[in-house]
Amino acid sequence: MKKAQVTIFIVIGIVILVSLALIFIVAKIITLENIKTQEAKRQIPSQLVPVVSYVESCLKDTADKALTISGIQGGNLNFKPNTYLSLPDFNLTYYSKELKLSAPPLTKIENELSMYINDNKNSCLTNLNNFSEKEITIKKSSVKTAIKENQVDFLLKMPITIIKDSQEYSFDEFIYTSIVRYGKVYNLATDIAKVPCIQYLPLQDQDIKISYQFYQDKNIFILDDENYNNFTLAFAVESC
């Protein structure tokens, strides 16, 4: 009887593993198809491909820098008084203060990432002048950021018009997706911060490294997602 039960559990386990594998494969296929469909819908004129590639490379560099700074500061790029722990080199966001959850909402993090990118992108866009064979006009821009479980999507709306050989070509949407699990790491961070009077490491995650240390009687947590582009989220928790 026991052997039969063990066999059943083994079979169930195999079925679950096969099912998960199939789900992963199907999800990957769907994602690839969505990317292809999205690229097809964009309909980038061939004359604009070098410029679009250059702008999106600039968007990537600026967005990656913004993500790094946002992560090591706990999500905030702009701080309000009494919301952060002051460290020698930077400020660290409180995720729990006075026994209350104080983590910044994802919408605030998204908005600040968008503002940072829009304010700093011009530092690399100046080289657009290198496309000397084209007359380039750029209008006012805006950035939209969407933090998801396993990625962060950036959309730069910036109308560009190029005149070449008396022909005018226009394009206005530039995209970049960073494969960092900001949403997953953030959710883990808020779960940790919800535990009152932290005296121990309350949670472990099999693929996110969790470490902490004390600084001026405060708990500093560091979450390292080393498997996905080495994204790090750090935050402070006020001790009891």
> Tell me: the pLDDT tens digits for 210-237?
888 888 888 899 999 987 678 999 999 9
Total domains in the chain come to 2
DSSP helix/strand/coil, 196:
coil
Structure-token match 């953030």, residue found: 186
Query: Which phi-psi region, left, alpha or beta, contains residue 101 (left: φ > 0; alpha: ψ -120 to 50)?
Result: beta
Confidence (pTM): 0.78
Indicate whether 51 and 31 sit together in one domain. Answer: no
> Alpha-carbon distance 136 to 208, whole Å?
45
What average pLDDT score do residues 106-135 get?
Answer: 87
Indicate whether 121 and 165 sit together in one domain. Answer: yes
Full residue range of the structural domain in which residue 93 is found: 43-238
Indicate whether 37 and 106 sit together in one domain. Answer: no
Indicate whether 101 and 210 sit together in one domain. Answer: yes
Residue 213 φ then ψ, to 5°: -150, 165
Indicate whether 140 and 161 sit together in one domain. Answer: yes
Q: How does pLDDT run across 176-215, given as a tens digit for each residue?
A: 999 999 999 999 999 888 876 655 554 555 688 888 888 8
Indicate whether 68 and 144 sit together in one domain. Answer: yes
Of 20-24, 129-133, 170-174, 177-181, the poorest mean pLDDT is in 20-24
Indicate whether 135 and 69 sit together in one domain. Answer: yes
Q: For residues 113 and 66, is the Cβ–Cβ distance under 8 A?
A: yes
